[in-house]
Amino acid sequence: MVIVASSILSADFSKLGEEIKAIEHAGADWIHIDVMDGHFVPNITIGPVLVKSIRKITSLFFDCHLMIEKPEDYVEQFAKAGADLITIHAESSLNVKSTIKKIKDVGCKVGISINPETPIDLIKDVIEEVDLVLVMSVHPGFSGQSFIKDVIPKIKKAKELINKTKRKVYLQVDGGINKENAGIIKENGADVLVAASFIFKSDNYKDAIKQLKES
Ligand code: DX5
Ligand code: ZN
């Protein structure tokens, strides 16, 4: 069964604790935390302070997606705040291999992400060292954008690359996912779907998560 990583970016931040409890009860598997710095992407969102505070209210797996420059400088802070997995962008780190090592050294699982226009080749050399590959299906920065269909062949290629390793490596897709496109994304190999607006803008979180899992 596919894993649904519910991105809190579209939650109502005036009642974030209640929103997290609600998605937990609705069947979300992971909490996806979109960290943006206003440099790597044109938006500023969540930092370690908030991660630490929501860590107290749920034991769900914290999937921290760092869309920031120099992620290597913040790995320790996110780990201390309670991240379970830290995903960095292949485009953003000066030395991807050493940042991956740093994430492992602080005891977190590690993910590597690529933007829609970035070729899969950029991550070939690190596939053996990561626990997750994230293929972005929107330009990172905002929730509520439309899924870019052109990334589907890249999702398939990422799966082929993962299949060559003997280890469990999750294939995550993030951006514009809804009940109409979840099926084709899964058919092409994704095993973790990130969704923000499809869940938080729905009338019923439980139905929305069920639709992503069953479509
Ligand atoms: C975009 C973020 C996504 C975003 C997804 O930069 O990485 O995780 O929150 O939002 P939706 O599901 O609304 O496209
Ligand atoms: Zn994300």
| CB contact burial 159-185 (16+ within 10 A = b; e otherwise) | bebbeeeeeebbbbbbbbbbbebbeeb
Ordered by where they begin, the domains of the chain are 3-214 (3.20.20.70)
Where residue 176 falls among pLDDT bands split at 50, 70, 90? very high
With a Cβ cut-off of 6 Å, ligand 1 is lined by: 7, 9-10, 32, 34, 65, 138, 140-141, 143-145, 174-177, 194-198
Q: Give the model's pLDDT for residue 94.
A: 82
pLDDT (mean) for 114-130? 97
Residue-averaged pLDDT of the chain = 98
- Whole-number Å distance, alpha carbon 201 to ligand 2 midpoint, is 16
Pocket-testing residue among 4, 8, 9, ligand 1, by greatest number of atoms within 8 A of Cβ: 9
State which ligand 1 atom lies nearest to the alpha carbon of 9.
9
Neighbours of ion ligand 2 (CB under 5 A): 34, 65, 174
Residue of 142, 207, 130 lying closest to 174 (CA atoms): 142
Residue 121, pLDDT > 90, answer: yes
- Whole-number Å distance, alpha carbon 186 to ligand 2 midpoint, is 17
Whole-angstrom CA distances from 102 to 39, 44, 51 are 22, 24, 19
pLDDT (mean) for 68-77? 97
Q: Give the model's pLDDT for residue 109.
A: 98
- What is the pairing mode between strands 109-114 and 132-136? parallel
pLDDT (mean) for 37-54? 98
Where residue 48 falls among pLDDT bands split at 50, 70, 90? very high
pLDDT (mean) for 161-188? 97
Which ligand has the shortest distance to the CA of 10? 1
User: What is the value of pTM for the model shown?
Assistant: 0.98
Residue with CA nearest ligand 1 atom 10:
143
pLDDT (mean) for 168-192? 98
Q: Give the model's pLDDT for residue 93.
A: 81
Where residue 212 falls among pLDDT bands split at 50, 70, 90? very high
State which ligand 1 atom lies nearest to the alpha carbon of 144.
13
For residue 63, indicate whether it is catalytic.
no
- Whole-number Å distance, alpha carbon 156 to ligand 1 midpoint, is 20
- Whole-number Å distance, alpha carbon 129 to ligand 2 midpoint, is 21
For residue 174, indicate whether it is catalytic.
yes
Q: Give the model's pLDDT for residue 163.
A: 97
Residue 14, pLDDT > 90, answer: yes
pLDDT (mean) for 138-147? 98
User: Residues 6 or more apart from 59 whose CB is under 8 A from it?
Assistant: none
Task: Pick the catalytic residue from 34, 37, 63, 131.
Answer: 34
User: Residues 6 or more apart from 116 whose CB is under 8 A from it?
Assistant: 136, 137, 138, 139, 148, 150, 151
